[in-house]
Amino acid sequence: MAVEWSDEGTSGWSLSDCETLSIMICTGPNNDINCFDYLLESVQYSAYEASMSYSYVIDPSLGTNGPYFLQFSGFLTDSPDEPFIAYSGRFQLTGMTGASPVADDGGFLTSPPGQDPVDGNAPAATETAGPYTIPYPQQTTGMAKYATMQRLPGHSVTGTNTSPLFPTSSYSLFKSKAKAASFVTTYTMSRTYTPLMGANWAPPGGNPAENGGSHGPTQGARMRRRWDDEF
C-alpha cells in the first residue's frame, strides 16, 4: 500500500515544523476509533519530508474485509508535548483473513475530526470556539480531552438547588479485555479571571479548655477508654 500525504496549509502550522511522525491503521466509526497497528511509530519526520510518502505491506491477518483509514500523529519541534492528529479518508481492504478487529464504519462517510497542537501553557485563540466547547463525555477521539474553565467560587452560599450543574456521564461495563486507552492527557481552558486573595487576619482560636470545651476530665477519660477498647 502506497501512502502519500500533503500539507494543505490551513491549520496555522506546517509539516515543515514536524519533528516526529506516527502512522496507524484504524477502523471503526468516528466516535469509537480502533487504531491497532503501526505503519510508522515515532520516526523522525525529516526522513520522509522530501517524498511525503511511505510504502507498507499490510498483513492480511490483521482483521476482516471492510473499511479502514489511517491516523497520522506526531509532534512539532516547538510543541513537544502537544500532538497533532489527522485522518485519511476510508478505503476498502479485501483479501483479509483475520477475525479481529471487525472492520466497520458505523455509517460514517466522512473522516474523523483531527486535532491541532495546542499550547497548554498559554491561552489559545481557539479556546472559546474549539474542542473546549464539546461536552467532555462526547469527546471520544484523539489523544487529549479538553475541560471547560474552572468556575469562580462565589463569596457566600445563597443557592438552595442542590441538583448537579451538569448531567452525569454514561458508562458501560467491560465484558472482555479492553483495548488500550488512546487519551494521554487533559487540557483545561485557561482562566480569564484573576482570583482575589489576601491574608486571614482573624486571631487563632484558643484551646478547648479556654473556650468552654465540652470534654471535661471525666468525659475525656471515658472517651479515651472507649478508644482503647476499639483499638
Residue 207 has pLDDT above 70, yes or no: no
Distance, CA of 1 to CA of 83 (rounded, Å): 25
Looking at the structure of the chain, the number of domains it has is 1
Residue 113 has pLDDT above 50, yes or no: yes
- Structural domain including 83 reads 1-117
What H or E segment, with its residue span, contains residue 73?
strand 66-76
Residue 144 has pLDDT above 50, yes or no: yes
Q: Name which residue leads in pLDDT, 199 or 118.
A: 199
- pLDDT tens readout for residues 65-101: 999 999 998 888 877 667 788 889 999 999 999 988 8
Q: What is the DSSP letter of 107?
A: T
Distance, CA of 21 to CA of 45 (rounded, Å): 6
Residue 83 belongs to a domain: yes
Residue 65 belongs to a domain: yes
Residue 168 belongs to a domain: no
Residue 182 belongs to a domain: no
Q: Could you please report the per-residue DSSP string of 214-228?
A: S--HHHHHHHHHHHH
In this predicted structure, what is the pLDDT of residue 23?
A: 92
In this predicted structure, what is the pLDDT of residue 157?
A: 73
Residue 105 belongs to a domain: yes
Residue 134 belongs to a domain: no
Per-residue pLDDT band for 119 (boundaries 50, 70, 90) equals very low
Q: What is the rounded average pLDDT of the residues 119-129? A: 43
Q: Name which residue leads in pLDDT, 88 or 165.
A: 88
Cβ contacts of 205-211, under 8 Å, gap ≥ 24 = none
- pLDDT tens readout for residues 25-78: 998 888 788 888 899 988 999 888 888 999 989 899 989 999 999 999 888 887
- pTM score, two decimals? 0.52
Residue 66 belongs to a domain: yes
Q: Name which residue leads in pLDDT, 94 or 143.
A: 94
Inter-residue contact 75 to 20 (CB < 8 Å): yes
In this predicted structure, what is the pLDDT of residue 224?
A: 60
